[in-house]
Amino acid sequence: MIENLFRTEELKALARRKSRDQEFRTVRNVDIPEHLAQGWLVQRKNKATTRLFRPKPQDILLQDRVWSLLYAMDFTHLSGEGNAILRQARTKNEGEINQLGVVGLDLDIAIAIGCKSAPAPRRDSSFAEYLADHNLIRERFANAANTQFPLDHKRVPVLAMFTSNLMLSEREIEKAQEQKVALFNENDLAYYEQLISHLGPAAKYQFFADMLPGKKIHGLQIAVPALEAKMGKHTCFTFSITPEALLKIAYVSHRAKGKATDVDTYQRMIKKSRLKKIRQYINQNGVFPTNIVLSLEGRRTVRFEKSSQQGGPEGARYGTLHLAPAYRSAWIIDGQHRLFAYSGLQRAKTAYLSVLAFQNLPASQQAQLFIDINHEQKSVKRNLLQELYAELNWDADDEDKRIGAIVSKAVQALNEDREYLFTGLAPAAGLCRRVVGDCGELY
């Protein structure tokens, strides 16, 4: 059984403490010298007690950062203060005991994370032994998680390890791969912390994808009506899907991550300010008529069942598209901001996004398509946007927008009349002020 594991909503106070870089302690005034010798500093002195603080030791800070990462990802259960404990027997006084470090349970995953750090960069001769011990708990950990916290399906067990200031040899890294223990260092942790601050809870699916690429996950079964067609030499599919479903399988390999496995990536880190604007648009019932562009990765990523309706040899075919139930099965080529803006929104369950998905598009062609979409297309001319503003807001409920539409239409009309043709910014500004003043009297 797993001890010291709680529902996440019960851990708000602990989350506040773990989110800080410092630790605090209140002691009697007579004990101050002893604590000062241990590196504590005085924050506030009272009549009989003193509030002390100091930077968290490296090992505690690393574990708290990892715990806080899982907390921000909305795991359903998390370990409490200190380590979670895996006990082989049901009684507290019997059986083998293992310290698990950070433990998190989600609807589809149970993860046990070990944390190893050093004050300065160095090798650790005991790392291979620690790795082997961590790997031994896999089966018992999975059984305990699914027995104590049952669902209608079994969670996938994941073992991971976060390190800081450890210089691992190639053999140690290979050993971790052989034992299927996901390794992350301090740079990876900083990347996921940045990602969660931008995306919110949906960042956990990017995290899961890095640990379980291609692994079949029970909760990711997706089937949608779709059109299959050819675009050049490539098979592609057009369909609609809820953002909630797409967020689970979509993946973006960002250049900010900096891993050697990401050499083919072309996406920049998501901009938080842009996500905020798009979320505001979504909450105002905004819709996106353009496609999210994907590449469905892997030989078994899709299964297309054709319906009885058939097009010609060059036409599209209608049917049902079954997407592989795996994280990282759909790589985003274009539209990452439109998709991830739905992270944490209730509308992610009810809205629909249009998708154009290529099957197994090579990374080089994904990058070229990204460039074609974001660079080669010409932007809309400013004067056309001004004309559209007048048309779209002519009957707007907002008075300021109606006035703006009238001003836009008036300026367009005057610009086309040679008698009132003007040049220069100053005359234009004066004219707009007069028109706004005249229009304001109408309302």
Which structural domains are found in the chain, ordered by start?
2-21+56-184 (3.40.1350.10), 28-55 (no CATH), 218-376 (no CATH), 382-440 (no CATH)
The model carries a pTM of 0.74
pLDDT of residue 67: 95
pLDDT of residue 255: 47
For 18-58, write each residue's pLDDT tens digit.
999 988 889 898 888 888 998 899 988 888 899 998 888 88
Q: Which of 69, 59, 88, 87 is nearest to 8 (CA)?
A: 69
**Residues 6 or more apart from 40 whose CB is under 8 A from it?**
25, 52, 53, 54
pLDDT of residue 442: 35
**Residues 6 or more apart from 258 whose CB is under 8 A from it?**
187, 191
Read off the pLDDT of each residue in 295-313 and give the average, rounded to a whole number: 71
Read off the pLDDT of each residue in 316-326 and give the average, rounded to a whole number: 87
pLDDT reading at 439 higher than 50: no
Which one-letter DSSP state was computed for residue 89?
Answer: S
Secondary structure, 3-state, 372-407? HHHHHCCCCCHHHHHHHHHHHCCCCCCHHHHHHHHH
pLDDT band at 331 (very low <50, low <70, confident <90, very high): confident
pLDDT reading at 215 higher than 90: no
pLDDT of residue 374: 67
pLDDT reading at 131 higher than 90: no
pLDDT band at 264 (very low <50, low <70, confident <90, very high): very low
150-164, 239-253, 322-336, 373-387: the lowest-pLDDT one: 373-387
Read off the pLDDT of each residue in 220-246 and give the average, rounded to a whole number: 89
pLDDT reading at 398 higher than 90: no
Read off the pLDDT of each residue in 63-69 and give the average, rounded to a whole number: 95
